[in-house]
Structure 1
């Protein structure tokens, strides 16, 4: 590790605005899976889906544009030193999904297991973008006035926010362009030799828009004047507090290109190890003279084990530049070759090429002590030789980048501490090497087992970013240089450059209960137990099970003893409670010949046979929680006569769910619901395991004035025949053995109870004489009720409302409950019309009664005047008034008489009364 400058100044303060952002979280909850999947597409299809070169857009009114360039393969540096400092030139990468969000720290165990969230994307449409063919990812962000709450939501963010740009580990895939993957989460950790290491020093790779945004502006990560993780080119007060090396100015400065990592190319088996191999040796001054001697001896051992084979070798050195500056200030010489080592003489000649190499004795003004992965790997890529594999031997993390002009000096940004720009440039150069089909296999030499766990995780992730994700295949960790010989000897003896290895990948994916939203899953135990069936095989790791990380994938390497060796591999998963197996399959891709696919029928998995060197095995298990049962209860009503059946709102229906086996959770938790306009209410029952079962008590609350007609429940299982249960009444029934995935459809049918009606009797009389020929108007129930015209029926059978055929007798039946008014509208011939209203109420609650008898209603015979009404106005009025008083008195007497009869409980008269 590079720690040659212990006296480097350490600032004691931090930028308050950055510190605030460090603990910031989104203003609204973020779903577990906040990112939508981007359909996988090929490079040729990118333009068809809108990923094409485009100018950075102009910020619309009330918005800002944040433009981030995604960097891929290293390109030649151009321009001045300042440009090189800010931008390690790299080609753009299309199809990369980035997000704006809030940062967070995380600590990871030695094995790289993530224990805390490291980046929380904002779950808003403006916070996501996909890079175009130039590699530009352009966010168009609405901005709001300072002090607006919430500070961040779908409508935008406040102007005093400084958002971060990152990738979402939960978004699958994050990169749709084939051959690329996300960088490992940790960039740097505290130097092993620093006296006070940072305990939780593993951090995600993020860009921060390190300034307050202004509406109408465009911010580009490539602008030298705009700080994306930049600290003012040495300004110790403006650094990123999330980066663990922020105690030294310059360490957190990004080059302005968001790095992504090329997949490490696989190597095909070649007889007699006929490969071109480049050895790249770190000669930074952290390498003690004895360690340099041990490293060269380890390379000698590797060459000895390759002697007699068809391997061709090249050898390169580096510290601040490549070739490296040596102890005497001279430059070593790189030997790209390639040199054959088929004979012992050829091997001796090759070993002599690097035999005198030394590391610088100490730091100098030209930073000879620093570590420049960028220039070392670029030198290999530009050597004119296309190698099959690069063996990178290093004890440090990158502290320096570029060389301008090439071979004269490297640019050290922060003394001798690792820094963001140096890593980015190193990754871009590694991508350039890989773009030629060259596999990079680093051997990182340091005793990390005794170090801070976060240091180990961070260092190995830096190595992953220039090679690949799998330890002991893509990269190796060696505790000290004395042990390097063993690694390189084994590497050469088994020709592990081209590998007699098979790679076994097992992927875990889960779905929502309805089978949607398929995604990778961490925390699942997957298995691959490898057994040799011919020759020998050794697997790495040796454990037959692994727990899936955030990527959802675990990998084993099966190293075969010879090209004729074969193995079987038992693939399995450990089923988690609350999940059920959905599907699975394994694809075996050989070096040559047909690809074969083997289905997986359950969590117990499958045993794959005939696995050979260079085979790639990709297996996937898909699980989901048991499908909830769905319980629908519908309310339907009919008219009184059983017709016009329809749904009904406002009825209370019940479904009380109880677990009978395992666990079950009903949603909503209330056991009753009131029907909406659709007449249907629904519950879901989520089961703890596929074997869980439940009972459901179905019921309804009967409404007054209604009667139960019928009820049924149909239970439809995922497989098998439906079954029907009869609901005998409103109390319903209890349905048993309800299982995951069942659909329960219940219906209650009601109709109004048969109406209770009443009647009214009255008689039309003059004294004791019954009078025929009167007509009446009956209004009700209520003043706006039906108006019936009732004529006196005098001949049977009666066809009108009056059912009594006797003259002067009236009997009207079938009156629904309510108030009525009866008025005579036509008097019998020769009699005076009685316009007095007669009111009564049909009902069961006194003073209302069902059957009324209004009794005799008198009519007075018209009088023939004995004295003509010619006595003058005053006399005529007296006569008329006198008659009026008499009639009123008779009418009042009749009312009292009728009330007396009703009160006394007189019933309906028969026609003979």
Structure 2
């Protein structure tokens, strides 16, 4: 087992500092006492006492004693009941003391843990479900655990004997009765790995969990396994062996655990009706690491408020850092649920978000628990965090700069309590600090991660960059309130230009839907950016509709040579097949549809020339000259002037124009220019003698 190499400094503002003189005394006490203190003990259900008649406890790495150690009755252990937790600002943790010896176990074990029989030892694991207080979780029945062989670093094969499998009972106890543990027995002092194999209906297992070291959620039993003894997960092999001296956390390991096996509740679904709006809890991580992206966090949170506007929804604001809320002032306090659409509430909520500041560590446990412990009930809770949990509990227990199993376990128990109230929990990990394995986000929300092209309504957890957060929260809000967004962008490729550009205003579109209600009807015109948008509202979060998008060009656009040449569409960022002359797309509540319509201008050239003869020897006399009629005659050799009316009858500008008359010399015709815009005309002239033929 790898322990953190250096003592970890806990935040001094938690009030755990001590005078130097007392610190020396505490260090001395630690040397004398050793590491027996169980700093992370976590009570489960009503079983406050440890579940063994007489349990042998030795250092897990110690060499087994050669002789049988007979059980010796021990004084009864007592455990205090945790004080009720505060709904808002948690009390500060009392200054830590040097580790004290563990209390002896009770001689009388609860009926749920069997007493070891002849030549037997019992390994018992406590299994927890929902958090019920500041340091307690309910018992969870139906979790199946199994013993595996293996060495210190590698998991071996599962044992196939019946005694190597257990299922937790109503008291949350899962007990293995291991035979042949007498002196020289085959299983004496054998070490096993405890691994979960299945969860009861409505729950799911979590392995791995992301920590600062080991990730696979499994635990190896201690060095001793001897007949007549019971070995408990909360004391002998799964518990937190770290301890505090002043503001220092010593002997910490990534595998430190509360001693209570975690399992996650399945995530509840949202209400199947969309008529009354949602009650939303927005849980924001305001730890110090968020500071450089606080602007993005506020923008995204405010955008979510805007996306919920008009739906009859309400929103409550919760914050956390190393404690929850982050502070009691406007820069970090919680705010009770407020209806978004009433009066100026929308602005009030956004102003509150804009006042938030950052500072401190990351305590998922307490951030989520404050919502579970709230008297109000929420349909949807959205946890936005930029990092893994490094603290737990109301007084910020934990290393502060590393993640262990215990920080995750406590967050899972709190999330279970929130889900037990019927609240759907969405976890959004944002930024570099929580990229990679999403196991911890999954553990506090549900089993389905969001993938590009997926529907936000079907996802339990998300991972995004900071610049994507606003889109993620908007999609979540739209989906949760039974809406889909449809955005159209017009691109145009004008004749003679190098490529398409975003079109401007004045392009018309129609949209129809087989189900749901569109926010706009009739022909809609693009704005100055060439865009038009629709909202599609459903009566159910599972609503689906076929949407048809059609472009309607004006007479002038058609005359100018514009034609629809390509349509491309994506749904939630993934391309979907569409074809001209319209786009037909299947749309579900929560979808984000983006379509681009490309129009290309194709211009046809055209030119006419009208020739006339005039009775003047040069073009200078044309003003007073008489036009000679078609078919008329003049004496051979008469000098006359010809006029050529050149007209551009096409759709495009003509360049390089030159008129050549095959009855005259090649350069006889003179024109005022060589360029004609569409619809324009010019008169060219030539003079010469009439020759009889």
Q: State the TM-score, normalized to the length of structure 2.
A: 0.51
- For the residue of structure 2 that corresponds to 1:305, the secondary structure is helix
Q: Distance in 2 between matches of 1:611 and 1:356?
A: 37
- For the residue of structure 2 that corresponds to 1:286, the secondary structure is helix
Is the 1:295–1:484 Cα contact (8 Å) retained in structure 2? yes
Distance 1:298 1:124, change over 3 A: same
Distance 1:310 1:7, change over 3 A: same
Counterpart residue number, 2:119: 62
Is the 1:307–1:343 Cα contact (8 Å) retained in structure 2? no
5 Å matches for 1:323-472? 323-325=325-327, 332-335=332-335, 337-343=336-342, 345-360=344-359, 369-403=360-394, 409-412=395-398, 414-447=399-432, 456-457=436-437, 460-472=438-450
5 Å matches for 1:810-889? none
Give the aligned CA root-mean-square deviation in angstroms. Answer: 4.0
Q: Is structure 2 residue 160 aligned with structure 1 residue 123?
A: yes
Query: Can you list the C-alpha shifts for 1:455-506, whole angstroms capped at 9, x where unaligned?
Result: 712xx011110000111244343432222111112222x23366889xxxxx
Distance 1:500 1:166, change over 3 A: farther
Counterpart residue number, 1:310: 312
Of 232, 251, 254, the residue aligned with 1:220 is 232
- For the residue of structure 2 that corresponds to 1:378, the secondary structure is helix
Q: Distance in 2 between matches of 1:76 and 1:465?
A: 20
Q: Distance in 1 between matches of 2:340 and 2:216?
A: 43
Counterpart residue number, 2:288: 285
Note the residue ranges of structure 1 that are not aligned, 5 or more in a row. 10-14, 21-52, 78-87, 107-116, 149-156, 169-173, 191-197, 236-245, 361-368, 404-408, 502-531, 537-558, 569-609, 615-913
- For the residue of structure 1 that corresponds to 2:337, the secondary structure is strand
Distance 1:338 1:325, change over 3 A: closer
Q: Is structure 2 residue 208 aligned with structure 1 residue 186?
A: yes
Counterpart residue number, 1:175: 199
Distance 1:232 1:391, change over 3 A: closer
- For the residue of structure 2 that corresponds to 1:287, the secondary structure is helix
- For the residue of structure 1 that corresponds to 2:288, the secondary structure is coil
Q: Distance in 2 between matches of 1:330 and 1:308?
A: 27
- For the residue of structure 1 that corresponds to 2:217, the secondary structure is coil
Counterpart residue number, 2:141: 94
Note the residue ranges of structure 2 that are not aligned, 5 or more in a row. 10-57, 64-109, 451-457, 486-511, 517-534, 547-585, 591-693
1:105 deviation in Å?
Answer: 11
1:144 deviation in Å?
Answer: 3.9
Is the 1:533–1:566 Cα contact (8 Å) retained in structure 2? no
1:331 deviation in Å?
Answer: 7.5
Q: Distance in 2 between matches of 1:272 and 1:121?
A: 52
Distance 1:207 1:500, change over 3 A: farther
Counterpart residue number, 2:611: none
Q: Distance in 1 between matches of 2:301 and 2:537?
A: 23
Q: Distance in 2 between matches of 1:275 and 1:126?
A: 49
5 Å matches for 1:4-153? 8=8, 54-77=111-134, 88-102=135-149, 120-144=157-181
Q: Which has the higher contact order (CA 8 A, sep 6+)?
A: 2
Is the 2:274–2:481 Cα contact (8 Å) retained in structure 1? no
- For the residue of structure 2 that corresponds to 1:411, the secondary structure is coil
Is the 2:324–2:367 Cα contact (8 Å) retained in structure 1? yes
Q: Distance in 2 between matches of 1:133 and 1:76?
A: 19
Is the 1:166–1:207 Cα contact (8 Å) retained in structure 2? yes
- For the residue of structure 2 that corresponds to 1:123, the secondary structure is coil
- For the residue of structure 2 that corresponds to 1:75, the secondary structure is strand
Q: Is structure 2 residue 471 aligned with structure 1 residue 486?
A: yes
Counterpart residue number, 1:865: none
Q: Distance in 1 between matches of 2:514 and 2:62?
A: 60
Is the 1:118–1:204 Cα contact (8 Å) retained in structure 2? no
1:534 deviation in Å?
Answer: 4.5
Counterpart residue number, 2:265: 262
Is the 2:125–2:173 Cα contact (8 Å) retained in structure 1? yes
Q: Distance in 2 between matches of 1:348 and 1:75?
A: 36
- For the residue of structure 2 that corresponds to 1:354, the secondary structure is helix
1:293 deviation in Å?
Answer: 2.2
Counterpart residue number, 1:253: 256
- For the residue of structure 1 that corresponds to 2:237, the secondary structure is coil
1:166 deviation in Å?
Answer: 1.3
1:213 deviation in Å?
Answer: 1.7
Q: Distance in 1 between matches of 2:257 and 2:285?
A: 24
Query: Can you list the C-alpha shifts for 1:231-258, whole angstroms capped at 9, x where unaligned?
Result: 35379xxxxxxxxxx9972432111111
Is the 1:207–1:228 Cα contact (8 Å) retained in structure 2? yes
Is the 1:175–1:182 Cα contact (8 Å) retained in structure 2? yes
Query: Can you list the C-alpha shifts for 1:5-46, whole angstroms capped at 9, x where unaligned?
Result: 99959xxxxx997799xxxxxxxxxxxxxxxxxxxxxxxxxx
Distance 1:435 1:500, change over 3 A: farther
Q: Distance in 1 between matches of 2:155 and 2:115?
A: 31
State the structure with more CA Rg: 1
5 Å matches for 1:758-797? none
Q: Distance in 1 between matches of 2:305 and 2:141?
A: 41
Is the 1:381–1:432 Cα contact (8 Å) retained in structure 2? yes
Q: Distance in 1 between matches of 2:476 and 2:375?
A: 25
Q: Distance in 1 between matches of 2:342 and 2:304?
A: 14
1:129 deviation in Å?
Answer: 0.7
Is the 2:446–2:460 Cα contact (8 Å) retained in structure 1? yes
1:272 deviation in Å?
Answer: 5.0
Q: Is structure 2 residue 462 aligned with structure 1 residue 477?
A: yes
